[in-house]
Amino acid sequence: MKASKLRDMTTDELQRQETQLMDQIFRLRFQIAASQAENPARIRLLRKDLARVKTVLRQMIGPARPEPARKTADRTAVAAAEATSKAQAPAAPKRKSKEDGRGAAEEPRKRAGRAAAGKSSRGAGATAKR
């Protein structure tokens, strides 16, 4: 469907068209999964039509409500409040270091596996060619 035809429709008609297209896509997905669809490529056209309808509908409704512009005094008050809350926040706990009593048992283990054992992963008789 052409976007020019969509722009001539009312918002109610566009919303009805949107729900119809979503329903058609839903049904066609089931037909494709069951291998019963006559034209599986039709889903691509339906998705594009749905995107057109949603785009025109969004243009008619208008953009999302923008946030009202803050005055300079409001910005400085917000910045001061944020600075105060950061100053009052508790400090993060310190990480343990080796000097804090962490012994050898708590150190990370070495990797165990074929490479650590000195065995090749190529097989018993494989040799590297250079």
Q: Which pLDDT does position 111 carry in this prediction?
A: 61
The domain containing residue 28 runs over which residues?
Answer: 3-61
Q: Flag whether 9 is in a domain.
A: yes
Q: Flag whether 32 is in a domain.
A: yes
Give the domain CATH number at 18.
Answer: 1.10.287.310
Length of the chain: 130
Phi and psi (nearest 5°) for 110?
A: -80, 155
Per-residue pLDDT band for 100 (boundaries 50, 70, 90) equals low
Q: Flag whether 25 is in a domain.
A: yes
Are the CB atoms for 31 and 81 separated by under 8 Å?
A: no
CA distances from 57 to 13, 22, 31, 64 (A): 10, 15, 29, 12
Q: Flag whether 84 is in a domain.
A: no
Number of domains forming the structure of the chain = 1
Q: Flag whether 115 is in a domain.
A: no
Across the chain, mean pLDDT equals 76
Per-residue pLDDT band for 64 (boundaries 50, 70, 90) equals low
Q: Which pLDDT does position 37 carry in this prediction?
A: 85
